[in-house]
Structure 1
Amino acid sequence: MKRTITALVNNSSGVLNRITGLFARRHYNIESITVGVTENPAVSRMTFVVQVDNMDNIEQVTKQLNKQVDVLKVKDITDEPIIARELALIKIIVTPQQRAEVAALVNPFRASILDVGRESMTIQITGDYQKVETFIDLLRPYGIRDLARTGITAFNRGSKKSTTESSRLTLIH
């Protein structure tokens, strides 16, 4: 089963290597990983999508991640309401006659054409995993020359409780 795990870590050299090493020692394949600095420049957010056999394995991994010296917080967010996005750059083979046809595919997906060459187009799409997959499948008949994907980055949606409380606090003041 696929699990999405986020980790807040110290933004320092070698942290990514130590954490991915932990997954490798457990023989878990990391299907995607994204890492970037947060609103605090001293902290980075890592988002992993991993394939695991059972829940006991993922609980063990999250416990071991929490023991790492540079790890501040680990959370399995798979079963929670989350916002998850991915970016893909897709270079396809097109003739000048096919460009309008491809542009008609780009618009409904809110993708954008980044580059047009004599025999190719490069398109950018962002969205959830399924949206990106569907768009790539629609472009396959043209011939995909290059494809680069960022992997999923995600975090929890805002909770109704905090929204309600912040609204209530606004009304009180």
Structure 2
Amino acid sequence: MNAKLQPTGSAYFISRQHTIAERHTLSILVANEPGVLARVIGLFSGRGYNIESLTVSETEHEAHVSRITVVTKGTPEVLEQIKAQLDRLVPVHKVVDLSVRARELGQDGPVEREVALIKIAGRGELRAEALRLADAFNAKVVDATVEHFMFELTGKVSKVDQFIAVLRPLGLVEICRTGPASMNRGAQGM
């Protein structure tokens, strides 16, 4: 018996392939009309695919085009299936897997930036330490009282994660993150 063929409980042997799920960033250009986001997200949820992050914004007002950036995990086969199903939706103009495109261009990945608002409550030395850390991470103070600070931080997802981790013991109250906005390097568009 072939070592790759495993009995499955049926009369036939089926080759099992175990592929590790990878994180991918998909960029989807869509018509900016009511219900499009619900249809795109419904495709993911209806098939049991998880969305780790989602950002949406109109990119071309005159053309009524929006860009949806979805970060998801899946095997290459599953991600190809997702892209093919997205391409079949009428309001979808284009689907690009930015992670795959970056590899094709010989790059580590797409350029990703995230914006986060982080609220810290504290007094005395905790306030001073929070300000020192904010300065080290180039975070801006966007709101402050004698009892709290609200910082704005823009950067790689890992930078935002690190900033949140070091602020947690200083009185972290609330976090609001946009999720990554992503583009590939180079002169070409999507």
Output the TM-score relative to the length of structure 1: 0.87
CA positional deviation for 1:40:
4.2
Q: Structure 2 regions of 5+ residues with no counterpart?
A: 1-21, 103-108
Contact 1:96 1:119 in 2 (8 A): no
Structure 1 residue 35 and structure 2 residue 56: aligned?
A: yes
- Partner of 2:136, secondary structure, is helix
Alignment deviations for residues 31-60 of structure 1 (CA, whole Å, 9 cap, x no partner) = 1100001134410010000122x1100000
Within the candidate set 13, 23, 26, 1:2 is matched to 23
Q: How does 1:1-173 map to 2 (within 5 A)?
A: 1-41=22-62, 42-52=64-74, 54-79=75-100, 80=102, 81-159=109-187
Larger radius of gyration between Structure 1 and Structure 2: 2
Structure 1 CA distance, aligned partners of 2:50 and 2:121?
A: 32
Q: State the number of aligned residues.
A: 159
Aligned-pair CA distance for 1:119: 1.7
What is the alpha-carbon distance in structure 1 between the residues aligned to residue 169 and residue 124 of structure 2?
16
* Bigger shift: residues 39-48 or 135-144: 39-48
SS state at 1:23 partner: helix
Matched position secondary structure for 1:35: strand
- Unaligned regions of 5+ residues in structure 1, if any? 163-173
Separation of aligned partners in 2, 1:100 and 1:143: 12
- Normalising by structure 2, we get a TM-score of 0.79
Q: Which amino acid aligns with 1:103?
A: L
Q: Cα distance, 1:102 vs. partner?
A: 1.5
Q: Give the residue type in structure 2 aligned to 1:153.
A: A
Q: Which has the higher contact order (CA 8 A, sep 6+)?
A: 1
Deviations 1:56-90 (A, max 9, x none): 00000000100100000001111414221111111
Read off the aligned partner of 1:45 and give its amino acid letter: R
In structure 1, what is the equivalent of residue 7 of structure 2?
none
Q: Which moved more, 1:78-87 or 1:66-75?
A: 78-87
1:134-169 Cα shifts (integer Å, max 9, x gaps): 11111011121111111111111124xx6xxxxxxx
Q: Which has the higher helix share?
A: 1
